Each structure stands twice: as C-alpha cells, then as structure tokens.
Copies of this chain bind each other. A is one copy, B any other.
Amino acid sequence: ALLAELAEAPVVRDAEALRVTITAGPTREALDPVRYLSNHSSGKMGYALAEAWARRGAQVRLISGPVTLAAPTNVERVDVTSASEMLSAAEQSAAESDIFIGCAAVADYRADTVAEHKLKKADASDTMTLTLVKNPDIVATIAARSPRPLVVGFAAETRDLERYARDKLTRKGMDMIVANDVSSAGLGFGADDNAALLLWHADDTIERQALPAQAKTDLADAIVDRVLSLYANRAATAHD
C-alpha cells in the first residue's frame, strides 16, 4: 500500500475552498410519455472534470443528465433529465459557486407541446412534422448573471471548430471555451480520449491553447490548470 501511494503522482490540492458547478451528459426532451429527443453525449468529459476538481480539493456539484456513469468520490451529484430542469438546477447552484463549467450537451430544442399520451402513427400519412422550440441557453444565462461565477463553456463541432468556438465564446459572454471536434474517430462523444482547443478572453484579445489527444482524465487536469490560472487573474484584477 505504501509503495502504491508513493508511485502515484502527488495530489496538489490547489483548488481548495473553490466551489465548482459542472453540468454533464446529454439532456432528454420528451415528445410523449415514451419518445424523446437526445444526443450521444456519454458524460465522460464532465465526470472526468468533476473528479479532477474534487481530487484537487474543490467543493464540486455535478448536475448530470441521464448517463450510466457513477458519481466520482466527494462530488455532490444532482440528476436532471430535460434542459429546463438542468437550467433550474444550474441557476440555483451558480448563485453559490466560484466557477461554472457547462459541459453538458444540452438539447438545443424541445417539443413545442409534450403529448400526454403516446402519439399514434397516422396511417393516412407517411410523414409527420414535429414543431420544436428553442431551449434556454444555460451557459449564456449563467454568464448574464450579476454577480456571476467564472463561466467555462464547451463547443462540440463537426467542422469549422475554431470559428464556431470563437463566435460562441463572445456571443454567450463566457470567460473560456473548450472546443472539440466530435467528427474525429475515437475522440469526443462516447470515447475515452479527447483533444481540445481552449480559447479565452485576455484583455482585448482571445488567447488559445491546443491540447493534443489524450485520456479525458488527463485532459480534465489540463483544463483545470487553465481555469485556475484564469480565476487567479480575475481575482487579482478584481482586487486592484
């Protein structure tokens, strides 16, 4: 046991006293009692982040959509299903957090009306039209609060990664964005590995750091490093 402990990298508890809220996984938007709209997010990246923050001493609340993962040690998990439920939980938690990380793949749209009973196939017609309405943007909502935590968002794209990510960073008022290309084989959704491009505001410019493909657990630590440095800068500026 002693040897095993010595062999492990020493844990730096450099996030102690920080309260961190993380959203993870997909959301599911009901169409009727049995059908739903969702996406392929496995929750692995958000769970890896929750684990990394907790290991480094932070007080972590993980707001999780439906996934098959177990909550990491020392993490408070709040289970939600829809984007609306996730938004309520996120707003409540953000109010008492220093850092908010929106890692969930929130459904952009939900059904206009959720049918109370199972929709029946209309035999006369071979097509069906579904009217969807836009869901609230959780990260943008948190970023618009005042006062607000440091806000980190994610962008999962299949093309034009940096262009879309820069646009999102600015438009949604985030402090930092973690962008990844989900079209790469073996990376991103469902995979254990991921690469990422970090973009953040620094004075009047946007700075960038490319993190190569690696285990999501290692990537999580690299993201935590960058967020901690941004948080320290922001705290220093606020106290000037």
Contacts and interface: CB of A to CB of B under 8 A. Distances in A.
Interface stretch (A34-42, A206-214, A217-225): A34-42
Contact of A33 (B33, B68, B120, B158): B158
A200 interface: no
B134 A127 contact: yes
A156 B127 CA distance: 22
Which residue, of A36, A156, A164, A189, has the highest number of chain B Cβ atoms within 10 A?
A36
A159 B117 CA distance: 7
Interface string A162-192: 0010000000000000000011000001000
Given A34-B156, A34-B189, A121 B134 contact: yes
B129 A131 contact: yes
Q: Which one of A117, A130, A131, A156 has the greatest number of beta carbons of chain B within 10 Å?
A: A130
**Copy count, this protein chain:** 2
A128 B132 contact: yes
Which of A35, A107, A131 has the most chain B CB atoms inside 10 A of its CB?
A35
A131 B127 contact: yes
Given A34-B40, A34-B156, A34-B182, A134 B130 contact: no
Q: How large is the interface on A (under 10, 10 to 19, 20 to 34, 35 or more residues)?
A: 35 or more
Nearest to A189: B34
Contacts of A68: 68
Contacts of A126: 133-134
A194 to B, nearest CB: 14
Contact of A157 (B35, B118, B133): B118
A109 interface: yes
B34 A37 contact: no
A85 interface: no
A112 B132 contact: no
Interface string A24-54: 0000000101111111110000000000000
Given A34-B39, A34-B105, A38-B38, 5 more contacts: A36-B37, A36-B40, A68-B68, A108-B121, A120-B164
Interface of A: 31, 33-41, 68, 105, 107-109, 112, 117-121, 126-134, 156-159, 164, 182-183, 189
6 contacts: A34-B41, A34-B182, A36-B40, A117-B158, A121-B134, A130-B131
